[in-house]
Amino acid sequence: MVYRAGLIGCGGVSRSHSAGLQAARNVELVTLADVYEPNLETAGKAYGVDRLYTDFREMIEREQLDIIAICTQAPQHAPIAIAAAVMGVKGIICEKPIALTPAEADAMIAACDRAGTKLAINHQTRMIPNTFLVEQILKEGVIGDLRAARLIDKGGRPAGNSLMELLTHVFDLLRIYAGDPAWVSAHLTVGASGPGRQDEPQRLAAIDDVVYSQTAWPRDRDCGLVLGDRCNATFGFGPRENWHNGLTASLESYFQPIRSSTGEPWHPNLELVGTDGILFLGGTSNHVDVYLHRGAWAPPGKLERFDAPPREIAPGPYQERGQQAPYHTGMVEELVAAIEQGREHRSSGRAGRWALEMIMGVYESHRRGGARVELPLAYRGHPLQRWLEEDGRPLPPKPEARVKVLNVPAPVG
């Protein structure tokens, strides 16, 4: 069977998704949708697709689609996914974050469950072979008992924005090995004279510092309300059978890009600390470099690099196809396998919802003065909006909508 696929949202992120769909076996990208016609026409020429729609519902109905990729900004994720499930698509790949609030994520998952639609969130890091290799290393006890983890952001955007953009990948990567978090305690800070003053002495972020993501950092996508230039958080994980007996994980996120004295930027990274060694995982999205330090930490030490061979997830070594976006290809082929085998995707909607729970937990803890907050959250709305409402304040002004223009030249000739 060849699965008919459509892509919704023709901004910059659609480049990798279109490449992944077109490289996947037994999948054909037949149609595109976007409310902004210039992007739609540019994408159609660049991707070689001539069935173009400004209404995604009309596209799904007319083209009888099996699979859709949602490449819009976050506020549109939930309504599109819910509508597509109701209309009977078999599988959905949705960009991260899954949604703006846990309630929206709940509704997406419930709609897909009712319809039998397989929902995947684009944490494509899960498709990288090295993430499977780390599972094997941990289960073989190479670093002994897993006791702690440390997450470090690469910087370059306010922490509040990074939570919804980059750190959703890092949280999801941690969850592969640590499982579901039980609680979080967090603090967010801003510069002494307000948000975005990252070089000034920091103060605790206050209710007046709540803004929309594109106010905090105009170059970012719309991911709703955000708070903070810097973030420090601690997550607690209870025992996980055959994995660990409980651990804590700490997060550091900075506005300033982290660069070495030679000017080299850091990758976002995760350290897994065991009784007999430390695993270092550097990068997300398109690569995860894995290094192992054996034995107790005693500098200078020696790091061993590990690289997994191409891996068949579903079916075939997808890394060898779709050169522009191998792990987007893996996401698509894993979705096809989930549909045909009646199982969840490795990067399922439920996994994506947990990353959002961790983000919202950071905000809820800060709102409550850094209190330890149990996860999943009982309140399913946005903690920052709740904070404003309980204090009798209106939402901050929303910046004028900015269209992300697709900068892809049409094929020559």
Secondary structure class of 8 (helix, strand, coil): strand
CA distance linking residue 313 with residue 177, whole number of Å: 18
**Which CATH number is 90's domain given?**
3.40.50.720
Q: At what angle do helices 326-341 and 14-23 cross, to 10 degrees?
A: 60
CA distance linking residue 91 with residue 166, whole number of Å: 24
Q: Helix, strand, coil shares of the chain as percentages rounded to 5? A: 35, 25, 40
**Domain check: are 147 and 274 in the same one?**
yes
Structure token pair of residue 413: 């000739």
Element (H, E) at 252: strand 244-253
**Domain check: are 132 and 145 in the same one?**
yes
CA distance linking residue 330 with residue 174, whole number of Å: 20
**Three-point CA angle 153, 260, 303, nearest 5°:** 80
Strand-pair partners of 121:
94
Per-residue exposure over 367-398, b if at least 16 CB sit within 10 Å of its own CB, e if not = beebeebebbbeeeebbbbebbeeeeeeeeee
**Domain check: are 101 and 244 in the same one?**
no
- Report if residue 178 sits inside a domain: yes
**Domain check: are 106 and 132 in the same one?**
no
pLDDT for position 318: 43
Q: Which of 80, 65, 225, 250 is nearest to 158 (CA)?
A: 225
pLDDT for position 302: 80
Structure token pair of residue 313: 């997830």
**Which range marks the domain in which residue 236 is found?**
126-306
pLDDT tens figures, 45-65? 999 999 999 999 999 999 999
- HSE of 102 in the Cβ direction (CA atoms, 13 Å)? 21
**Which CATH number is 216's domain given?**
3.30.360.10
**Domain check: are 109 and 137 in the same one?**
no
DSSP label at 194? B
CA distance linking residue 52 with residue 41, whole number of Å: 8
- Tokens 């850091």 identify what position? 266
**Domain check: are 201 and 275 in the same one?**
yes
Number of domain units in the chain: 2
For 309, counting Cβ atoms within 10 Å of its Cβ (0-12 exposed, 13-18 middle, 19+ buried), the class is exposed
Give the pTM. Answer: 0.93
**Domain check: are 327 and 226 in the same one?**
no
**Domain check: are 155 and 81 in the same one?**
no
Are β-strands 269-274 and 146-152 bridged in parallel, bridged antiparallel, or unpaired? antiparallel
- Report if residue 9 sits inside a domain: yes
Residues of the chain with pLDDT below 70 are: 299-300, 310-325, 402-405, 408-413
Residues 208, 213, 219, 222, CA torsion sign: negative
**Three-point CA angle 290, 18, 309, nearest 5°:** 25
**Domain check: are 143 and 287 in the same one?**
yes
